[in-house]
Amino acid sequence: MEFDRAADPYRRGMVADLVAEGRISSPEWESAFASVPRHVFVPYFFDLDSAGRWIPVTVETTDEASWLGQVYTDRTCVTQLDGGTTPLDVQGAVEGLATSSSTEPGLMADMLEALELDDGMAVVEIGTGTGYNAALLSERLGEANVTSIEVDPKVSAEASEQLRKAGLAPRLVVGDGAVLGGPRVDRLIATCSFPTIPDAWLSMVKPGGIIITTVFTKPFGMAIVKVSVGERRGEGEFIVPGASFMETRTPPSGPVRFPDLEQIEEATERATEWNPADLFRFPVGFLAGWVLGDASFYPEFEGGWPVIIDHASDSWAAFTDGEHGHRVREGGKRRIWQAVEQILTEWQRSSVDDLSGFRYEVVSGHDGYDALGSPAIGVKWQRFRNG
């Protein structure tokens, strides 16, 4: 109880900042954020040191004021590495891939406000994580109207315990959020990223409902979309371009096949106005990934070539700098860099720096596709999918 009282001014300060910044705009969400104690859901986290290593932070390893100050800052708190390691499992700096976290509260507020909730609505959340977002939804709608799905049983169990401590008990499910089933709901929000909106979501959300999720394109970019749902389809806009969530966990796709370096040396070379380093800049990387599909990027491939490899078509593009600018060599069944150049050139015609004005469309079923388009310049890039 003493600890909870100590957290109150930190929580009030965080909420006041989010309101002042316009991230929280409704009294209902202001009340929810003011009521739900984030520190209960983030009893420990990892912090990055100057060398890019993860430092475990717990209330036992730092002073109370410092710990509460970090928890109630608008920042993401990483709580798991490599699918299982928590700050309680290590001592000192470690390396690893972040696999679970409590998202920065400002971004959570952006997405929750975009849901346009009314009292009594039913919501499904994909990606329980720490349980903090499920707690906010439960505070806003009542726990009986909230279902949260998590693929990791251990993460789900820990979230259940934290929710219990906060006096909340929404329905928690362990499973794959891409293939969920059950009664139809009014809203769906995903706090992990997907390459497309799964068919199951379009079936679960009622027509007229809303889906908020992050769409990612491999290997370069992510953007949060708000989709209005119809029968077997959805259409919407990008509301937080460039924001990122951890990718949904999928099984490994098998060994990577690299192109033969002799083929690279023998390929036809030409000039390109686009620098492959631009792929790490939003939205260039997102747009390139849209047409590249399940490609991989190797910035320092053997021999010094940056290389993009599309394993599905056994195609590749390799880059170097020539005397008069960037140059590319392409091989395989399709010219993948040519497709990238086309979408980037058309994006330049839209005269926007991000994805403002771009529309996202998704259709489910055996003939399903998703599409990215710009009405302003009259173009649409469509790709078929497996649902």
pLDDT of residue 42: 93
User: Which residues of the chain carry a pLDDT beneath 50?
Assistant: 250-254, 261, 387
Helices then strands, counting H and E runs in the chain, come out as 11, 19
Q: Which of 30, 221, 23, 35 is nearest to 107 (CA)?
A: 23
* pTM value surpassing 0.85: yes
What does the pLDDT look like over 271-303, one tens digit per residue? 999 988 888 888 898 899 898 887 888 877 666
d(CA 149, CA 172): 6
Q: How many residues does the chain have?
A: 387
At 335, the amino acid letter reads: R
CB 346 within 8 A of CB 352: no
All domains of the chain in start order, with CATH: 2-175 (3.40.50.150)
- Helix-strand-coil split of the chain, %, nearest 5: 30, 30, 35
Residues labelled catalytic? 102
**What is the reported pLDDT for 244?**
63
Q: Which residues pair with 48 in a beta bridge?
A: 54
How wide is the angle at C-alpha 58 spanned by C-alphas 56 and 59, nearest 5°?
Answer: 160
pLDDT given for residue 387 in this prediction: 41
3-class state of residue 47 by DSSP: strand
Is 94 strand, coil or helix?
A: strand
